[in-house]
Chains A and B, each alone.
Chain A
Amino acid sequence: MVPVPCRVMRTYQETGDTFTLELESLSQDGFSFRPGQFNMLYIHGVGEVPISISGDPHKPESVVHTVRVVGIVTWGIKKLRRRDFLGIRGPFGTPWPVDLAEGNDVVIVAGGIGLAPLRPAIYDILARREKFGKFVLLYGTRGPSDILYFRQLEDWRARFDFDLHVTVDRAFGPWKGNVGVVTTLIPKAHFDPVNTVALICGPEVMMRFTILELLKKGIPEDKIFISMERNMKCGIGLCGHCQFGPHIVCRDGPVFPYSAVRHLLGIREI
């Protein structure tokens, strides 16, 4: 329950309200985690927040988080500079089922900052690309200036074995890319539905509509996975805050098979 002090290696701005933080790995063996897991980041005297890990699982020498400034703790994290310290606990939670997806096509649908917890899964799949069938990333965000990991997406798009589509909800100025919600990309995407594993992360409403489109396309329910956001405080299933029906999200999630949460997604204030 005690955070381990950790030093900032570098920080860089991603979009207007979002930045990425690279921390020095905790131990000599490095920081090992599985894609989809999160850490609790502690700012001295201010508080602690759950932040998904967005780095490369094959590079244990650093711990990478992409953070959106939404409150006092994330504001405190934003103010950190090179060589400053923060506390870290983790990794916590369930991973994306990347291993299970081997031999299948993989469709990743990300909305807004939901791309951050999916990036480790992308790294992981690209690291052993030959084990998977088609690999599709559909990413929707607010506007062209809100696109996370812009340069990296461009690099990835240049690959012949990665089918990547970006869309924005509205575009001011000289944007030549897609405009429309991310769900509109799904009918046009090419994959073999019955042999596809889908990983989804974004706002809850976006995930619900994405699931509907994927089901329409024919992906089986038990091959759709989503990452839930709740008030994770302790990270180890003891404080009760992140309950979602019978699930304790920090322990049983954040990644859930759709079949485990289907009955809860439409219920208000659950």
Chain B
Amino acid sequence: METLQPILAEHPFFQKLEPEYLALITGCASNVKFDAGTYIFREGEEAHHFYLIRQGKVGLEIFIPELGPVTVQTAGEGELIGWSWLVPPYEWHFDGQALELTRAIALNAKCLRQKCEADHDLGYQLLKRFVTIMEQRLQATRLQLLDLYGSRT
């Protein structure tokens, strides 16, 4: 049977990852599809997965009572969504909605955490990649905080 390994290997997130680790990760991977408008996860739910988006767009939302849903970030093709699975208590902090038909690879959190505990080299490889993304997201979030385009009075 064909595995998801070739697809994972092509995703920017796993660029230059050793095949042995890729094989380990593939064991935790599954193919998923979300129709436009579907919520992939909700705030407060346990984070069972993270997602490598192959196609489509996912919005991270938070609901403000007097304003309704506010989208704070979107992720699309080639990007990744979710790191709540890495940090206890492993719960989502935002709602994740598929804004269009979205195809992704879901990586099972428990499976990955177990493999990382068993093989710290794998854990290190994975964390290095997550830290890079976290740094980029934090940088972008700081720029958003500056509200550069707003009027200053």
Give the docked Cα–Cα distance between A113 and B67 (Å).
Answer: 26
Q: B143 is contacted by which of A68, A172, A209 (Cβ under 8 Å)?
A: A209
Q: Are B140 and A181 neighbours in the complex by a CB distance under 8 Å?
A: yes
User: Which single residue of chain A is at the shortest CB-CB distance from B97?
Assistant: A176
User: Does B150 count as interface, using CB distance less than 8 angstroms?
Assistant: yes
Sample 26 A-B pairs with CB under 8 A, ordered by A number.
A17-B151, A140-B149, A142-B149, A167-B74, A169-B147, A169-B148, A169-B149, A170-B144, A171-B70, A171-B71, A172-B67, A172-B69, A173-B69, A178-B74, A179-B71, A179-B74, A181-B143, A183-B143, A188-B76, A188-B78, A188-B79, A202-B149, A203-B149, A205-B148, A206-B143, A209-B139
> How many of A's residues come within 8 Å of B, CB to CB?
31
Provide the residues of chain A in CB contact with B147, threshold 8 Å.
142, 169
User: Does B146 count as interface, using CB distance less than 8 angstroms?
Assistant: yes
1/0 per residue, CB under 8 A from A, across B60-103: the answer is 10000001111111101111000000000000000000011000
Give the docked Cα–Cα distance between A140 and B144 (Å).
Answer: 11
1/0 per residue, CB under 8 A from A, across B121-150: the answer is 000000000000000100110011011111
Residue among A112, A167, A180, A203 with the most chain B CB within 10 A?
A: A180
Q: Could you tell me the distance in whole angstroms from the C-beta of A55 to the nearest C-beta in chain B? A: 22
User: Does A195 count as interface, using CB distance less than 8 angstroms?
Assistant: no
Q: A113 is contacted by which of B68, B73, B139, B149 (Cβ under 8 Å)?
A: B149
Q: Could you tell me the distance in whole angstroms from the C-beta of A18 to the nearest C-beta in chain B? A: 10
Give the docked Cα–Cα distance between A34 and B73 (Å).
Answer: 37
Q: Are A178 and B100 neighbours in the complex by a CB distance under 8 Å?
A: no
Q: Are B140 and A206 neighbours in the complex by a CB distance under 8 Å?
A: no
Residue among A111, A171, A206 with the most chain B CB within 10 A?
A: A171
User: Which single residue of chain B is at the shortest CB-CB distance from A209?
Assistant: B143
Using C-beta atoms within 8 Å of the partner chain, give the interface range for chain B: 20 to 34
User: Which single residue of chain A is at the shortest CB-CB distance from B78?
Assistant: A188
Q: Could you tell me the distance in whole angstroms from the C-beta of B102 to the nearest C-beta in chain A? A: 12
Residues of A within 8 A of B (CB): 17, 68, 70, 111-113, 140-142, 146, 167, 169-173, 175-181, 183-184, 188, 202-203, 205-206, 209
Give the docked Cα–Cα distance between A57 and B136 (Å).
Answer: 38
Give the docked Cα–Cα distance between A15 and B1 (Å).
Answer: 55
Q: Are A205 and B151 neighbours in the complex by a CB distance under 8 Å?
A: no
Q: Are A180 and B148 neighbours in the complex by a CB distance under 8 Å?
A: no
User: Which single residue of chain A is at the shortest CB-CB distance from B136?
Assistant: A184
Q: Enumerate the 9 nearest inter-chain pairs by beta-carbon distance, A residue then B residue, closest first.
A: A112-B149, A171-B71, A203-B148, A142-B149, A181-B143, A179-B71, A179-B74, A176-B99, A169-B144
Q: B148 is contacted by which of A17, A70, A178, A202 (Cβ under 8 Å)?
A: A202
User: Which single residue of chain B is at the shortest CB-CB distance from A167?
Assistant: B74
Q: Could you tell me the distance in whole angstroms from the C-beta of B27 to the nearest C-beta in chain A? A: 29
Q: Are B140 and A184 neighbours in the complex by a CB distance under 8 Å?
A: yes
Give the docked Cα–Cα distance between A172 and B99 (Å).
Answer: 14
Give the docked Cα–Cα distance between A80 and B20 (Å).
Answer: 70
